[in-house]
Chain A
Amino acid sequence: MSELTSLRPMQLDAIREVANIGAGHAATALSHMTGQTIMITVPTINVAALEEVPPSIVAPDEPVAAVLMSMLGDLTGRTLLVFPTDTATRLAELLLRRAHAPGTELSDLEQSALKEAGNILSGAYMNALSEFMGLMLLPSPPSFAIDMARAVLTTAYLQFGSDRDYVFCVETEFFMQDTGESLRGFFLLLPDVPSLRAILRAVRLA
């Protein structure tokens, strides 16, 4: 834990920059897939006790579509892509080029399209990190869920993390400009603590 809270501002900046490069590539991939303009925010770093992770994304019981992937290789950790339902629905429409039947849940085909999109976006994110840092990064197959936001997030933090007390998470929010309306999504990078050190070494700030 001390390791997480004692990161210097310079090191935090470096991690944010690394995440920004990853998110930038993922946003470009999303833009190509959908033909929409995608904007991303400056990544924010959350270091918090498990029970205090800010419920920044959406209300805890609000449904979200999420794609979780494990990173293996020189860096280990996870990436989590989170789409609130309105974004997920619109994204599925754009990917499949057909309208979603109103009042229904996402069909198997639509879910499959989102899972594949998540796979491509996470792959783009990890590839960018890998190239920028000169580290080998292997993405696992994607795992997809539509469920309550808090259930999804705590599972991503807890079920796989090496540290059970603190969460280290780099979050990038992205916006899809769509007919005047802005649809949000979130990209979370959850490096394991030893991998944080590897990232800092790679950018010569260890």
Chain B
Amino acid sequence: MSTPMPGDPLAVTESRVGVADSRLLRGSGILSTHGLGSCIALAIYDAETRCAVLAHILLPCEDRAGPVARPARSAVHAVPLLLRKLRSAGAGRRLVAKMAGGASMFGPLLLMGGVNMGERNIKATRRALQDAGVLLVAEDVGGDYGRSVYFDVSTGTMLVRSLKRGDRTL
């Protein structure tokens, strides 16, 4: 799992996004985030200026009202944050989004009082994008397995890697 892109001479930099965090890259490079379960990797991208942000979203929304310490943590706050970041980096208005994750692992136990966080995250992220008027062009969500995501800033493609299903390109 150590080589970020299969068969890719990785001269470009890989910028890793931590849990509840987000990062922006321009021009070239790989934005990645690893080991998503019910979490969502959301990339918003402007093809014209090759400007992209990737967030690792943990929750659909914050349980508590008040100031938000880490906006990338929840879908409702992450989308506006990513848009702000893109805007201040000079991205255009023709933004598109791709997302992956939102799995429901340990499914049988969910019936015993669990919350389907994956499903809730997927719905909240879709809604937040819709509210912000950002077009979701591709997604690889749901299922019962974890994913890692590599977003290539120069091409706008998202590679979704999982142990169960192998690689999928969005």
Query: A interface vs B, CB < 8 Å?
Result: 50-51, 59-63, 68-70, 72, 140-141, 143, 145-156, 158-160, 164-165
Contact = CB atoms under 8 A, between A and B. Distances in A.
A160 B64 CA distance: 18
A147 B37 CA distance: 9
Contacts of A153: 37
Count chain A CB atoms within 10 A of each CB in B107, B113, B118 and give the residue with the most: B113
Interface in B77-119: 103-110, 112-118
B137 interface: no
Count chain B CB atoms within 10 A of each CB in A140, A146, A151 and give the residue with the most: A151
A134 B113 CA distance: 24
Nearest to B16: A60
26 contacts: A50-B73, A51-B20, A59-B1, A60-B34, A61-B34, A61-B35, A62-B1, A70-B109, A145-B105, A147-B37, A147-B145, A147-B146, A147-B163, A147-B164, A148-B147, A148-B148, A148-B163, A151-B105, A154-B35, A154-B37, A154-B38, A155-B105, A158-B59, A159-B106, A159-B116, A164-B59
Contacts of A60: 34-35
B1 A159 contact: no
A165 B63 contact: yes
B112 A140 contact: yes
Contacts of B163: 63, 146-148
B58 interface: yes
Interface string B142-162: 001111100000000000000
Contacts of A159: 37-38, 104-106, 110, 114-118
Contact of B34 (A50, A69, A150, A158): A150
Interface of B is mostly: loop
B43 interface: no
A168 B115 CA distance: 18
Contact-residue size bin, chain B (C-beta under 8 Å from the other chain) = 35 or more
A51 B145 contact: no
Contact of B35 (A145, A148, A158): A148
Nearest to B104: A159
A103 B115 CA distance: 37
Among all A-B residue pairs, the 8 with the closest Cβ atoms: A151-B146, A150-B35, A151-B37, A51-B20, A60-B35, A148-B146, A148-B35, A61-B34
B19 interface: yes
Count chain A CB atoms within 10 A of each CB in B37, B103, B114, B115 and give the residue with the most: B37
A160 B34 contact: no
